[in-house]
Amino acid sequence: MNQRLNGLRQKMTEAGIDALLISQQKDRRYLSGFSSTAGYLIISQDDAILALDSRYVEWARQDASPTSEISIINTKGEIHNWLPDIISGMGISKLGFDDTGITYSTYSKMNIALDSVEKAVELVATGDMVTGLRTIKDAQELESMQKAAAVADASFESMNQQIKIGMSEKELAWLLERILRENGSGSVPFGIIVASGPNSAFPHHSNSDRVIAPGDPIIIDFGARIDGYGSDTTRTLCLGEPGDKYKEIYDIVLKSQIAAIDKIESGMTGHQADGIARNVIADAGYGQYFLHALGHGTGLVVHEEPKLGEKSEDILQNGMVFTIEPGIYIPGWGGVRIEDMVVLEKGKTRLLTHVSK
Ligand code: CO
């Protein structure tokens, strides 16, 4: 945790702020080890203060990382009631805040708070400064993500033994979710997608009562969550005899995905990585049907940095965990997507998810 705090402090110095008010749950959890739905973390070069209301204080004393230097205060009332004391105590003049993570109402209360501080303090909108730090996973995070991927792998295999023609998309999604939970996953990181037949032409289909028929392409996008960290896998399968179209499309998507897994290297930009997979699909004549980016970082949040897409300048680096998920979606027919989660290590990708393709 202290290493994470120090990384942030360096970025704060570069941004020219003396302290940062952290308001988003994922960032609070990443820096303090404590996961409450409410509260703030205030970081300066010398202090790290977790500001929580009385529902959380005792819990945090037990749970916030024991190696961490974080102190806990019990906030009484809303932010303008307790923030002035903290600011005065820190003697700062520039307070950063994440303008992507607070409401206008909270912002107004912060302004009231600063008016009552004797020394003038400037509020500086910084965006989410923690997101960038979270892209490189440390050993502890990687372990949680490997566990989540393993639970997802095993759960999909047992679902595969039970899947039947005649089940609805909703039934199948629930079957897989139940197995994931029974295998130790926390609440699933995102709603499982089951898209069958023509519905599989929509990359983010919302599960329906449609009953699965022989020969349908069935896209299943799912994940497990361990210690807050989510996994993300997609498989496309077919019950009964697959048609020629299905075989053709499946092979192109698989070829595209394998090319990306093999050729992506650290130092590439997100758009170079995307291009590896996109070229395979375009060369096969289906470029216009690959409707989304190749992949995204994943961790405490299912979609986080880096982005692997046509316009992404993000630089892929060792320690990043992201998905590789090309797809082809043909209106009226259906679609195929194949997604795995990888970590970049020693310049190359290593698969974290292993379900058979
Ligand atoms: Co994904």
For 162-177, write each residue's pLDDT tens digit.
Answer: 999 999 999 999 999 9
Distance, in Å, from the CA atom of 289 to the CA atom of 333, rounded to the nearest integer, reads 12
Cα(280) to ligand 1 centroid in Å equals 20
Compute the distance from residue 301 Cα to the ligand 1 centre, in Å.
11
How many angstroms separate the alpha carbon of residue 222 from the centre of ligand 1? Answer: 9
Do residue 129 and residue 58 come from a single domain? yes
- In the prediction, which pLDDT does 71 show? 85
* Domain end among 106, 134, 162: 134
Q: Are residues 112 and 146 in the same domain?
A: no
pLDDT value at position 90?
87
- 327 within a domain of the structure (yes/no): yes
Find the radius of gyration of the CA atoms of the chain.
23
Considering the domain boundaries, does residue 356 fall inside one?
no
Report percent pLDDT > 90 for the chain: 80
Sequence-distant (6+) residues with CB within 8 A of 6 are none
Domain extent, residue 332, equals 139-351
**How far does the centroid of ligand 1 lie from the alpha carbon of residue 236, in Å?**
14
Does residue 330 surpass a pLDDT of 90?
Answer: yes
Distance 353 CA to ligand 1 centre (A): 12
Same domain, 129 and 153: no
| pLDDT score for 94 | 95
What average pLDDT does range 127-143 have in this prediction? Answer: 93
**Coil, strand or helix at 11:** helix
pLDDT at position 127 is 92
Most confident of 1-5, 129-133, 185-189: 185-189
Q: Which helix (H) or strand (E) holds 140?
A: helix 139-162
Residue 117 pLDDT greater than 90, yes or no: no
Answer yes or no: do 165 and 83 share one domain.
Answer: no
Domain-ending residue, one of 134, 150, 173? 134
On whether both 247 and 321 belong to a single domain, the answer is: yes
* Residue 66 clears pLDDT 60, i.e. is over it: no
How far lies 256's CA from each of 220, 259, 326, 334, 350, in Å? Answer: 19, 5, 7, 18, 17
Residues 267-324 have pLDDT tens digits of: 999 999 999 999 999 999 999 999 999 999 999 999 999 999 999 999 999 999 999 9
Give the integer Cα–Cα distance in Å for 85 and 294: 47
pLDDT digits (tens, 9 = 90+) for 85-116: 888 888 899 999 999 999 999 999 999 888 88
What CATH number corresponds to the domain at position 240?
Answer: 3.90.230.10
Q: What pLDDT is stored for residue 285 in this prediction?
A: 98
Please check whether residues 130 and 171 belong to one and the same domain: no
Of 114, 134, 154, the residue that ends a domain is 134
275 CA from centroid of ligand 1 (Å): 17
pLDDT computed for residue 58 by the predictor = 81
**From the CA of 234, how far away is ligand 1's center (Å)?**
8
Based on the structure, what is the number of domains in the chain? Answer: 2
The pLDDT of residue 67 is above 70: no
Q: Taking 90 as the threshold, does the pLDDT of residue 73 lie above it?
A: no
Mean pLDDT of 195-222: 96
How far is the centre of ligand 1, averaged over its atoms, from the C-alpha of 80 (Å)? 39
295 and 183 within one domain: yes
- pLDDT attached to residue 239: 96
* pLDDT one-digit tens code per residue, 253-269: 999 999 999 999 999 99
